[in-house]
Structure formats: structure tokens, C-alpha cells
A and B are shown apart, each in its own frame.
Chain A
Amino acid sequence: MELYVALKVIWAFLLGVLLTGLAVMVGMDMGVGTMLRFVGRSDLERRAALNAIGPHWDGNQVWFVLGGGAIFAAFPTLYATSFSTFYVVMILLLFSMILRPLAFEYRSKVDASRWRATWDWAFLVSGAVPMFVFGAAFGNVLQGVGFHFTWDGQYFQDESFIWYLLNPFAILCGLMSVALSLYQGGTMLVMRTEQPIAARAERIAVAGGRIAALLFAIGGIWVSLMKGFVFTAPVDPAMAATPLHGPAVARQAGAWLGNFHAHPALWAIPAAGFLGMIAGSLALRAGFAVLGWWLGALAWVGTIFTVGVAMFPFLMPSTTAPAQSLTVWNASGSAYNLTWMLVFALIFTPAIIAYTGWAFRVMRGRVKTDSIAHDEHSY
């Protein structure tokens, strides 16, 4: 296999890893934010829930920032096109997401119930909206998106934003994403908070896991029936990275199952997703919260890689100009760039994992509700 092709495939895989890391780590914090008003009845209980993720949310959020930067560099055309296509939705995501750092840092710094209640609502919005948009984006990409390019690479949008916000399949994916984030956030609170917060969090997490499994099943059937995209002419994976001169692409019902039919072993990936969701809820019920957390991560791996494998090599197909669909082959960076990015990723990722693990170890143990009231460093 040519080196450039290998690099493209590696970066497509790493894109999946990044999106999974983002979903697990940021999703966990956003799940806590979404359920904050429900797991904590008093101010102290809510502060306990916040402080359970307080030392980590900022580091976790970098998955989101790194996701943006890595897509920009590794798949520049995908970055340019997807964020512009989903403009209004992305801006809503940003509006809600930028509330979160302030909500953490500012909420408990003023002792007034209206101030704190306002920030508690901000947590709900900044948890639920971004996770919904995240899932809905997958839903839209699976269905194809209306865009085309002119000869110089300038991109044009062919559909209004209302469609991207309000089509049923995107809503289903958005809800599933919120449900999984509630599962992951709830699991974290089961590990890190005392009763009765932990018990409430467990109920929400179990419900989240079950709803996610149900929506995943419905979504799977939906995808198998919807029109996917296939190449109708031979494609050269080592092609120059431009969507302007690609081979013909057709839309066919059931096309997203093509990779699974060709390689039945790939069915293990959606199966792992189901396992994560169902066994995770059971583990949580049985009192194995740590196992439950890792099974939640497995659920995300299963979900995101199922989408990736189903679509491969498509990244963002175009409904209005299918031949200009963005794929792993035509939307990637240059070989030189991908090589250097890989070098940096190989050096720094182990370090990041090591010090993130250390940070979680330093802050391990349950947040004591009564000690928060006296700790001036806590949120």
C-alpha cells in the first residue's frame, strides 16, 4: 500500500479516536451539566456534583479543541465545508458551549440564589445543546448534505439550516448522543459523589444507557434502509486531495451496509456498542461503577466507529453534487503534513494520557458535601 494511502487511513482512524475521546470526556462533563438540576436538590448537592468533575472539565474540554484543530489540519476541506454547512447549528453549539467555562468558574463565587440558579440553567443548556448538535451532525452526515464546490475550491451551500436542525433522523441521533452523555456523566457522579446524589445519578445513567440502546437499534434499522453513497467508478485512494475531479458517486438504498457485507467481522463494532450500553446499565445497577464507566466508553467507541465503518471512505457525502462528496481520499491533508502530525501525535498522546490519568488519580475519592462548604478552592 502506498504510504500516502496508509497515512490517510491512519488519520481517518485517528479522527474516529478523537471524536470518541471528545464524546467520552466532554460528553461526561456535559451529562453532569445536563442533569445538575435533577441530581442536586440543594445548592450544596449541586456543588458536590460540580466539584466531582471540577478539576477535570477543563482538561477534558481540550478534546473538543484538539478535535477542531486536528480536523483542520488532517482533513482541511472537511473542516472548511462541514462547519460552514452546519453554520447556524455550529453557532448555536458555540453559544451554548462558551457558557460552560464561566458557569464552572463563576457559579459559586457569588452567594445569591438567582445568580446560581441562572448558572444552573446555563449548565443544562451548555450540556444538552452541544451533545445534541454533536449527534445530529452524525445524523446529517449519514444522510448526505447539500453542498458543491466551484472550480477554485470555493464551497456553496445548497440547503437551508432548518433541514439540518429538524430532520427526524438527525433528531434521533442527537437524542442518542444526549442519552449517552447522561449515562457517562451519571456514572462519574456515582463514583465521585455521596448519597443521595449518587443514587439519583445512577437512576438517570441507567435510563440514559437504556434509551441510547433503543435509539441505537432504531437508528441502525433506519440506516440500513436509507440511501447511502457508493462509488460507481474505480477510485484511486492515492489521488490528489481535491473534491473537484473525483469519480462518479451514486446514492443507493442500503449502501451503508456494504462494508459490513464485505467484511462480516465488522459487525463486532456495533455489537460492542450494544454491549457497552446494555452491560453498562447492568454493571451500574450491580454497583460496579468503574466498570460501568469503561463500558460507557465502549458504547461510544461502538457508536462512532459504526458510523465511520459504515460510511468509509466517505466523510461527508453531497446530495446535490455526489461526485464532489468528501472522502478520506479527497479531503485529507498532504502526505508531508499527515506525516508530521502523526509524529507529534505519537509523541504527545502517551504523555497526555499519562498526565490525565495522574490528575484523575490525585483527585480520586468521593467529594464530601460538608467539606465543600469550607473549601475556598472548590467551585
Chain B
Amino acid sequence: MTNLTVVELSRLQFALTALYHFLFVPLTLGLSVILAAIETVYVITGKPIYKDMTQFWGKLFGINFALGVATGLTMEFEFGTNWSMYSHFVGDVFGTPLAIEGLMAFFLESTFVGLMIFGWDRLSRPAHLAVTYLVALGSNLSALWILIANGFMQYPVGARFDPDTMRMQFTSLYDLIFSEDAQAKFVHTSIAGFVSAAMFVMGISAYYLLNKRHRAFAARSFRIAALFGLISTLAVITLGDALGRSDYLLQQTKIAAIEGLWHTTKPPYEPWKLVALPDDATQSDVFSIGLPYVLTPLVTHSFTEPIPGIIELEQEARPKIVNGIQAVLALHDYARTRSPEALAAFRKNEDDMGYGLLAQRYAPGQDLAAITKADLPGVVDRTARATIPNVFVEFWSFRIMMALGFAFLAVFAFAAYFSLRNRLERQPWILWLAMLFIPLPVLASEFGWIVAENGRQPWTVFGWLPTFQSASTHSVGYLLFSLIGFALIYTCFIAAELYLMFKYARIGPATGASETPQPAAGPHSADTSGYAEKPWQ
């Protein structure tokens, strides 16, 4: 019998370690690309200021990268240490993208990051540039394979459940890689990383501009970051919309929870809820304020398609649960007898097996065979209710993420505008805003993770394996040991990281090259238009 406390503690530990890992990953993804861009300018123009920029942002990249690597180690092994049933159930298909990530991406990124830091004096300029490109390529390829793996949890394609091995067996590499969910999520997530990095570079540059230090250096970094951030934010919003539509097609319970839809919508009037207080217990809103006519086109990209509501989705799940219970009972029979009749009985309902596994949680003694005729409606009721993720969490995580996204758009737009007009130093408010906004894109990414993974509940593999069955059968003591240990170590880590980040951001770029005008960066050189009249040139 599954100990639900252990499952909840395992979930808590996974969420903490994943959210913590995800504090550092977005910055790595984006900063590697920004570094590659700046170094390209350096190699083309030969101006030392761009070398200073690459080296300075590279140093902050290194401080962040170390934590990304350290916390990533935990992730690679936590499936095995804490989710043994899950690992056994999907390892044949889920482990593969993780292994390919190591072979194709992480080796590339990690081998060349050493040369990127240590190789300045040992490599020619183009060779060092190539190394930086490979780091950026490696880290983003790494995100691709991780999100392909995650895509399988959200929308399991490319594998079939096999009753002989009691697990999902890999059937199509193509389907796995080109899963609609995985592709939509990869571009949305990695470009969200670009936004984080752009805000990071822009905010720290704003700090120098406010303090009138390293001005040429900071003004250039600011402009690159503002433009990069503006384009990236536009892309993230567009791609987020595409991801929402793919959720509407593939994960209806998730989209219903995100939008707080208790009932199937009646287009076209249906309002998009701007603010609401959804109550999961009564399955209704305490109050809500909505914008009429917005919801249907926003989610479905049409004016006529209805979006299924939570109460209707629960009704749809009921027959699946009844069939699923039959499937699991037949599977158990097959495991004992290996008889073709049991296999045939299983095959009849195999697509609903996951719902039967989910029902185990609500069966007497977690044993489906013990369900009596009188119990059945109650078990089906509770299981149906369990197919819906927590609406309050989903609704608000999504709205915070989205509001932050639009706030970034505004900040980047103003920042880019004033930077291009060379009016930054006369607009200290935008500099202040840029500085204060540094942590917010990372926060938005964290909420994005919650939307994606809370919205996947109650499944680890959507529709196939319930979360409560996925965890290792440890004792509570083991979990407390690891959970407290991770909390303590990670707290020390983040303290050390923030201390060093602040220290090096305060020190600023190491050499004096950017303080003194460089001959090559003079008023008439090609790419300094807009800087020509400035006093610091």
C-alpha cells in the first residue's frame, strides 16, 4: 500500500529541487547567447570594449553556471532515488532523451565552458568565438532534450504500454522528438531564458549608468540587452499563446484549470477572467471579473469552438475510470496467470488503464479487487474529482506569469526606445525599473514551471501513470533526511551565489579599457552612431 505522506514529501522535494535548479538555468540559456553575440561583435570590430564586455558578463555567467550544474546533478539522479516506479515505468522512453542530452549537449557545453573561461590567451580570436558559440549551442540543445523528456510526461507519444514488461516501451523516436507539446514548450522556455538574461544584463548596466560608472561599457551592454530582451519577450508571449493552444488540444484539464472554467464555455460571449477567486472545494468562483468575448479567440484561436469545463471533464472521465478499473484488474490477472484470456480482457480497456491506477488511491485498502458494487460510485466520484489539478494554484500562477510577461514587454520597449534615442541618463526611472526588474523574469519562469507541472497533476505521465503511484517506497525518515539536507545546502549555496554576484557586479568590468576612450571606438567608427555626441565618448 502506498504511503501518501512519502509521496507528498517526495513531491515537495522534487518541486523544491527543480524550482531551485530552474532559478539558474534560464540565465545560463540566455546569457550564453548574449555572450556569443557580444563576442561576435568583438571579433568583427576588434574593439577591446567588446572583449571587456564578454569577459565581464562571462564571469557572472560562470558564477551562475556553477549552481546550474550543481543543482542539475540532483535532477539527473532524483528520478531514480525518489521515483523508482516512475523510472521503471517510463525509463525506456524518458531516459533516452536524458542520455542523448548528455551525449549531444551537456558534454559540448561543459567541455567548452572550461576553454571559454581559461582559453583567452591560448586560442585565436575566431577559435575562442567558436568555443563560446558551442557553449551557447550546448546549453540550448540541452534544454531541447530536457523539454522533449518533459513533453513526454505532458503528452505521452512515441511509446506504448506493454503488459509483459509492465512499462511504457519506446516505439517512435520521431514522435517523441517532434511531439507538439515538447516543441512548443522548448521554444517558449528557452526564449524565456533569453528574457531573464536580457533583464539581468540590462539591470546591472542600469546600475552603472545610475552611478555614472563604466558608462560606455554599460550603455552598450544596456542597448544590446534591451533590444535582445524586447524581441525575446515578444517571442515568449507569442510562443506562450501557441503553447496555450496546444494545451487546449492536448491537456484539457490543464487549460480548464488555468482559465478557471467550471463549465464548458458558450462562445462567443464567454469572458476571460481577469481576476477571480476560484474555490476548488465548491467548484465555483467566490467572485470574478472578466473581459467578455476574449476567452474563446484567446485559447482556441476561433470564435466558435467551446472549451470543455471542469465539471464536464469530470463527467467524461467517469466511463474511463470504470473501464480503467477493469483494465488494471485484468492486468493483475495476466501478471499472475499469463493467460491469453486475461490479456484479451486487458486489451479491451488498455487505453484507460491509467484511470484504473488512479482509482486505486480511493479503493478500500488501495485494492481495486476490494471494491464492492456499493463502493463503486463513490470511488468513481472521488477519482473523477482527482483528475482535475488544483484550480486556484493554476489560475493564479498563470496570471502572475502572464502579467509579468507584459510588464517585461513595457520595460524593454521603454528601455530600448530611450537607449536608441540616447536619453537614458535623463530618464533615471527606467534605469531604476530595469534594476529592480532583474529577478522578475526568473520568478516568471518559476511560475511557468508551476503552471506546466501543477497542471499535469494528478499524473506523472499524463493519462497513464498517477503521481501517487510513481514514488519510491521509502520511509518518512529517509525523506526528512534528504529534504532537510537539500534545504540547508541549497540555502547556503544561494547565499554564496548572491554574495558573489553582488560583489562582482559592484566591482564591474575588470580592466580600465572601457573607462578610457579607445581609438577604434571613436566618434566616427561604424557602429557607434548615436554615441557620437555623448560626453563619455
A interface with B by C-beta (< 8 Å) = 51, 54-59, 61-62, 64-66, 68-74, 76-77, 79-84, 87-88, 90-91, 94-95, 97-102, 104-106, 109-110, 151-157, 161, 240-242, 244-245, 333-334, 336-337, 340-341, 344-345, 348-349, 352, 355-356, 359, 362-363, 376-378
Contacts and interface: CB of A to CB of B under 8 A. Distances in A.
Nearest to B500: A109
Nearest to B333: A151
B114 A55 contact: yes
Contacts, number: 264
A75 B469 CA distance: 21
Contacts of B493: 98, 102
A156 B1 CA distance: 11
Closest A-B pairs by Cβ, 10 of them: A76-B91, A83-B80, A73-B95, A72-B95, A59-B111, A66-B102, A105-B66, A80-B87, A55-B114, A69-B99
Interface string B95-134: 1101111111011101111110111101100000000000
A344 B97 CA distance: 11
B99 A70 contact: yes
By DSSP majority rule, is chain B's interface helix, strand, loop, or mixed? Answer: helix
B303 interface: no
Contact of A376 (B89, B162, B171, B510): B510
B386 interface: no
A155 B88 contact: yes
B298 to A, nearest CB: 38
Given A55-B119, A58-B69, A377-B118, 5 more contacts: A54-B114, A101-B70, A157-B473, A240-B164, A363-B115
A346 to B, nearest CB: 10
A88 B70 contact: no
Contact of B485 (A95, A359, A376): A95
B173 interface: yes
B62 interface: yes
B117 A90 contact: no
A66 B474 contact: no
B84 A348 contact: no
A109 B338 CA distance: 63
Contacts of A101: 66-67, 69-70
9 contacts: A70-B95, A73-B98, A76-B167, A87-B472, A90-B81, A99-B70, A151-B336, A333-B92, A359-B111
Interface of B: 55, 62-63, 65-67, 69-74, 76-77, 79-96, 98-104, 106-108, 110-115, 117-120, 122-123, 162, 164-167, 169-171, 173, 331-332, 335-336, 338, 469, 472-474, 478, 481-482, 485-486, 489, 493, 496-497, 500, 503-504, 510
A345 B66 contact: no
A189 B102 CA distance: 27
Given A76-B87, A240-B165, A244-B335, A98 B489 contact: yes
Contacts of A241: 165
A182 B94 CA distance: 36
Secondary structure dominating the interface of A: helix
Contact of B166 (A91, A97, A110, A244): A244
A106 B496 contact: yes
A344 B118 contact: no
A28 B169 CA distance: 37
A245 B103 contact: no
Contact of A91 (B106, B165, B485): B485
Contacts of B71: 98
A65 B66 contact: no
A155 B76 contact: no
Contacts of A345: 103
A222 B482 CA distance: 33
A153 B167 contact: yes
B483 to A, nearest CB: 10
A65 B72 contact: yes
B142 to A, nearest CB: 10
Given A83-B84, A88-B478, A362-B123, A151 B92 contact: no
Given A109-B500, A151-B335, A341 B96 contact: yes
A59 B115 CA distance: 10
A69 B473 contact: no
A226 to B, nearest CB: 26
Contact of B99 (A51, A72, A376): A72
Given A66-B102, A359-B115, A80 B84 contact: yes
B92 A349 contact: no
A69 B115 contact: no
Contacts of A87: 81, 472, 474, 478, 482
